[in-house]
Amino acid sequence: MSKTMIEVNDVTMRFRMNSDKILSLKEFVTKALRGKLEYWEYTALDHVSFRVKKGETLGLIGRNGAGKSTMLKIISGILKPTSGNVVCHGNVVPMLELGSGFDSDLTGRENIFLNGAILGYSEKFLLEKYEEIVDFSDLGEFIGTPIRNYSSGMLARLAFSIATVVKPEILIVDEILSVGDAAFQEKSRKRMLELMGGGTTVLFVSHSIEQIREMCRHVVWLEHGKVRMVGKAEEVCEAYAL
């Protein structure tokens, strides 16, 4: 029987939102000291539970605001749930906001080592993989220029190349295959399929139902923060499309 790699146990996530239109820090502090700040609670996830087995690619679908990104951030350890818990049995590489760990004043080359260190790769490992990362990113001579001069597509290509240079045990992916031009999208799709075929457990969010059908065996459908349906990809995608 396959080992469970991700356990999402009765997870609820509530955000406290300020209902006042505060235009300055001074106004915020004044109202806070007087106890006159008004809040309302927003429930992004409501008692969500599911499991992901070793080597499985699980799709997460739902309309905007359904709670998909919040769920990925909790599994990645970026957010702590209000209640419930998530247990990951293996190292997690999140590909959520590509390039968020970059420094715009540094060159592409310097950012490979910075971003790689954030993802837990050693300098020795990054030196060994440096040429492979640059080749895959298609950045060529631009690798030596500050990334503030990069387009969003160039940034995404570099971030994707760094994040997928190893075969992580658990990969968290949010809309990754929509980055770059058509040629790079195809290349990144093939890299993703290689990772999936190599035993990596993948949690995958995409607005493209065709990508979900192609990449995933099982799917969790979130609606208004609740699990609407869990099952085989074809069955859940078909119900979702109705």
* CB-based contact 205:174 (threshold 8 Å): yes
What confidence tens digit (pLDDT) does each residue in 50-95 have? 999 999 999 999 998 899 989 999 998 889 999 999 999 988 888 7
Query: Residue 170 corresponds to which amino acid?
Result: I
What confidence tens digit (pLDDT) does each residue in 204-221 have? 888 889 889 988 989 999
**Per-residue pLDDT for 175 more than 80?**
no
**Per-residue pLDDT for 224 more than 90?**
yes
* CB-based contact 172:92 (threshold 8 Å): yes
pTM value surpassing 0.85: no
What confidence tens digit (pLDDT) does each residue in 87-136 have? 999 888 887 766 667 899 999 999 999 988 887 789 999 999 999 999 99
Whole-angstrom distance, CA of residue 86 vs CA of residue 92: 12
Q: Lowest-confidence range among 26-35, 36-45, 233-242? A: 26-35
CA angle, corner 226, sides to 92 and 203, nearest 5? 25
Whole-angstrom distance, CA of residue 117 vs CA of residue 87: 23
